[in-house]
């Protein structure tokens, strides 16, 4: 989030299946304070499924649309990083849709 202060605490970690972050400070998106972010990994066939959730981020928050677009971009970039060896977390907004389509299961 640029040079804005963000403090996130890892409150749960079960290697290799789950991590939960709790947001304590977020200057760029104050609505995030008090929310939690989980990443759950589960073996599926020969691969791994990632289940992501930002608990407390909901359509009633001012930052919701911006955050949804940002998470879409970053998670699609994570898929590219795993599948192709390089992600693009700072891709321009117009490429969100293309990144999201690549991140969807076939």
pLDDT at residue 15 is higher than 50: yes
Whether the CB-CB separation of 28 and 6 falls below 8 Å is answered with yes
Q: DSSP labels for 8-44?
A: EEEEEEETTTEEEEEEEEESS-GGGTT-EEEEEEEEE
pLDDT in tens, 77-101: 888 888 888 877 776 655 445 544 5
pLDDT at residue 19 is higher than 50: yes
How high is the pLDDT of residue 84? 85
User: Residue 72 — very low, low, confident or very high, per pLDDT cuts 50/70/90?
Assistant: confident
Sole residue written with tokens 């970053």 = 74
Instruction: Note the pTM of the prediction, 2 decimals.
Output: 0.77
């Amino acid at each position: 989030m640029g040079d804005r202060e963000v403090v996130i605490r890892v409150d749960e970690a079960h290697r290799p299946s789950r991590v939960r972050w709790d947001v304590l400070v977020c200057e760029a998106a104050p609505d995030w304070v008090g929310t939690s972010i989980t990443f759950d990994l589960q073996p599926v066939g020969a691969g791994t499924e990632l289940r992501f959730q930002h608990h407390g981020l909901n359509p009633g928050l001012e930052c919701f649309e911006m955050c949804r677009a940002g998470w879409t971009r970053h998670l699609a970039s994570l898929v590219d990083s795993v599948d192709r060896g390089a992600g693009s977390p700072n891709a321009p907004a117009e490429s969100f849709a293309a990144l999201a389509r690549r991140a969807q299961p076939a």
